[in-house]
Amino acid sequence: MRLRIIHTTTYRYLREVEFNPHRLMLRPRGGSDVQVLQHALRCSPSADVSWAQDVFGNPVATARFGERARELEITSDILVEAAVDLWPVFQIPPRAQTFPFEHSADELIDLGALRARPDNGSSVRLWAQGFIRSRPTDTLSLLKDLNAGVLASVAYRPRDEEGVQTGAETLAMASGSCRDMAALFIEAARHLGFGARAASGYAFDPETPSLQTDTTHAWAEVYLPGAGWIAFDPTHARVGAGGLVTVAVGRCNAQIMPVVGSYAGAPDDLAAMEVDVDVRAL
């Protein structure tokens, strides 16, 4: 499926301000399920843009602005070829098909912080352990139950505020945004001993209109030997990368925000911020 994605972020200010360098994570990673055919990045006022990769291999642009302005607009125009496999088959070797299982020594080293369990997550740990029906149990079934359990425990609530709720906060409030629900799943998966990471990008499925949003989407990925990183989208209780276009992955959502930057001026100079995402099949 060929998709065109236009992602526009607009900041409006009460007076002209000077912009510091902005970090932009807007270009999809690409891979076996998503091919990036075209990508154009436009900034107003104009900017000098340089590209690099972070420690996770995400494409990262740095925009440096030479003009002051009362409005900053950053538009990412993307054309991708995306596979939509709603029933993926994961090649998990016998040693990892049953939970609990042992990671190899190399896997333990490489997963490192992606398996770290937060100190203040006792309520999340107890909640996660409630999905273990028996020992041993099927690994993938456990993760699917955990994924579905987030939506059963937490109501989706769009949030414009910055930041991410802790897993304990999301459970206590029983509501959260897609990034909050993904963070809860990640924290719970780590309490069970899995390596998990945050992912962000875009969701699209012509047969499921509720998947399409007017903003970016957040989900989680869990590493299983043999299968690699498997996408778990607790907001929609879906498994697999079908219908997802990954832009960035990281240890936590704070590392993969699409646009991060600042300006020289007073805090109340910022009048408004708007984000618009349009995803269309061609």
Read off the pLDDT of residues 86-117 as tens digits, 9 standing for 90 and up.
788 999 999 999 999 999 999 999 999 999 88
Mean pLDDT of all residues in 214-239: 94
Question: Rounded to whole angstroms, how far apart are CA atoms 115 and 168?
Answer: 18
Task: Confirm whether pTM is higher than 0.75.
Answer: yes
Higher pLDDT, 85 or 44: 44
Read off the pLDDT of residues 19-56 as tens digits, 9 standing for 90 and up.
999 999 999 998 888 999 999 999 999 999 999 999 99
CATH 3.10.620.30 given to domain 94-256: yes
pLDDT of 207 strictly over 70: no
Please provide residue 54's backbone torsions phi and psi, each rounded to the nearest 5 degrees.
-90, -175
- CATH classification code of 2-83+258-281: 2.60.40.2250
Read off the pLDDT of residues 231-274 as tens digits, 9 standing for 90 and up.
999 999 999 988 899 999 999 999 999 999 999 999 999 999 99
Q: In which residue ranges of the chain is CATH 2.60.40.2250 found?
A: 2-83+258-281
Q: In which residue ranges of the chain is CATH 3.10.620.30 found?
A: 94-256
pLDDT of 66 strictly over 80: yes
Q: What's the mean per-residue pLDDT of the chain?
A: 93
Q: What pLDDT is stored for residue 159 in this prediction?
A: 81
Mean pLDDT of all residues in 210-238: 89
